Amino acid sequence: MVQNTLRPAGAVKSSLSLKEGETIGRGLAMALAANLTAEAAIDEWVLKYKALTELDREEAWFRPVLNVVTKKLLREVSWGLKTRLIMGAGLSVMDLATDVFVIVGYMGKEERYWWSLLWMIVGIMAIQLSVVFGAIPKSPPNRLLLGIIYGPWCLC
């Protein structure tokens, strides 16, 4: 579990052996990669394995210890941050692309709609620019360009 390497975890029978314990432990990394928060990953992981469900029900210390461990793992690994960053940036760019597609579709037909959409996009980008330049005034230009393109949240 603490190695936190992304490998698929297999199924586990009802009787636990050392090898099956390792399989269960590997499942946490996959749950962390698939969820946005540590708590959601723990819920998914515990519900997947009957032994963990029983341990969670019987021992009061189990869930608080898992919360601390998973939050520490999320802070230390780079794949979790990179995955969330790429997904967020990709969704942001796709959102902009669909807005442009809608604006082009309205051009020549409904002038008031496409102008209002265009000004909304320009306004949002202006707000993002001000946040990017205000939050990191001495950053290198390539990081500022990332913030302009993908939004200020990608600079974290």
Check whether 10 has a pLDDT greater than 80.
no
Helices vs strands, H then E, count in the chain: 7, 0
Considering only residues 39 and 155, tell me which one the structure prediction assigns the higher pLDDT: 39
CA atoms of 85 and 152, how far apart (whole Å)? 11
Considering only residues 73 and 36, tell me which one the structure prediction assigns the higher pLDDT: 73
16-20, 102-106, 132-136: the lowest-pLDDT one: 132-136
- For the entire predicted model, the pTM comes to 0.46
Among 104, 107, 84, residue whose Cα is nearest residue 96: 104
Query: Each residue of 98-119: pLDDT tens digit?
Result: 888 888 888 888 778 888 888 8
H-type alpha helices, 49-156: 50-58, 62-76, 78-106, 111-135, 141-150
Give me the mean pLDDT over the 129-134 stretch: 73
CA distances, 81 to each of 17, 75, 84, 94, 125 (Å): 33, 8, 5, 20, 24
pLDDT of residue 108: 80
CA atoms of 14 and 135, how far apart (whole Å)? 52
Query: Each residue of 22-60: pLDDT tens digit?
Result: 778 878 888 887 777 788 888 888 888 888 888 888 888
